[in-house]
Amino acid sequence: MATAQSHAQWSSRMGFVLAATGSAVGLGNIWKFPYMVGQSGGAAFVLVYLACIALIGVPILVSEWLLGRRGQKNPINTMAQIAHQHGHHRSWALVGAIGVLGAFLILSFYSVIGGWALAYMRDAIFGSFSGLDKTAIGTAFETFLAQPGELLAWHSLFMLLTIGVVAMGVAGGLERGSKLMMPALGLILIVLVGYGATTGGFGDAAAYLFNPDWTKLDGKVLLAALGHAFFTLSLGMGVMMAYGSYLGEDVNLLRAARTVVIMDTTFALCAGMAIFPIVFANGLDPAAGPGLVFVTLPLAFGNITGGLLLGSLFFLLLTFAALTSSISLLEPVVELLEERTPLNRIGATVVAGLTIWALGIAALLSFNLWSEVKFAGLNVFDLLDYVTSKFMLPLAGLGAIVFVAWKLKQDDVQRELQLGSGGFALWTLLARYVAPIGVLFVFWNNL
**Taking CB under 6 A as the rule, does residue 333 contact ligand TRP?**
no
Give the count of residues interacting with ligand TRP (CB under 6 A).
18
Cβ neighbours for 235, distance < 8 A, ≥ 6 positions apart: 57, 60, 61, 64, 229, 393, 397
**Taking CB under 6 A as the rule, does residue 113 contact ligand TRP?**
no
> Which of the ranges 19-27, 145-153, 195-203, 306-314 carries the binding residues for ligand TRP, by CB under 6 A?
19-27
What's the min distance (Å) between Cβ of 30 and ligand TRP?
Answer: 8
Which of 76, 106, 256, 380 lies at the binding interface for ligand TRP (CB under 6 A)?
106
Is 299 or 393 the residue whose CB approaches ligand TRP more closely? 393
What's the min distance (Å) between Cβ of 287 and ligand TRP?
Answer: 20
Neighbouring C-alpha atoms within 13 Å toward the C-beta of 328: 36
Residues of span 378-407 touching ligand TRP by CB under 6 A = 393
Binding pattern for the stretch 74-103 against ligand TRP, x by CB under 6 A and - elsewhere: -----------------------------x
> Which of the ranges 159-167, 290-298, 323-331, 373-381 carries the binding residues for ligand TRP, by CB under 6 A?
323-331
What's the min distance (Å) between Cβ of 231 and ligand TRP?
Answer: 5
**Taking CB under 6 A as the rule, does residue 319 contact ligand TRP?**
no
**Taking CB under 6 A as the rule, does residue 21 contact ligand TRP?**
no
- Report the distance separating Cα 240 and Cα 235, nearest Å: 7
Rounded to the nearest angstrom, the gap between the alpha carbon of residue 256 and the centroid of all alpha carbons in its chain is 17
What's the min distance (Å) between Cβ of 155 and ligand TRP?
Answer: 16
**Taking CB under 6 A as the rule, does residue 272 contact ligand TRP?**
no
Is 163 or 299 the residue whose CB approaches ligand TRP more closely? 163
**Taking CB under 6 A as the rule, does residue 174 contact ligand TRP?**
no
**Taking CB under 6 A as the rule, does residue 366 contact ligand TRP?**
no
Which of 77, 178, 265, 328 lies at the binding interface for ligand TRP (CB under 6 A)?
328
Which of 62, 145, 239, 404 lies at the binding interface for ligand TRP (CB under 6 A)?
239
Nearest-CB residue for ligand TRP: 28
Is 144 or 231 the residue whose CB approaches ligand TRP more closely? 231
Which of 17, 60, 113, 329 lies at the binding interface for ligand TRP (CB under 6 A)?
329
Residues of span 199-238 touching ligand TRP by CB under 6 A = 231-232, 234, 236-237
- Distances, alpha carbon 352 to alpha carbons 40, 75, 392, 435, in Å: 34, 16, 20, 33
Is 205 or 239 the residue whose CB approaches ligand TRP more closely? 239
Binding residues for ligand TRP (CB under 6 A): 23-24, 26-29, 103, 106, 231-232, 234, 236-237, 239, 325, 328-329, 393
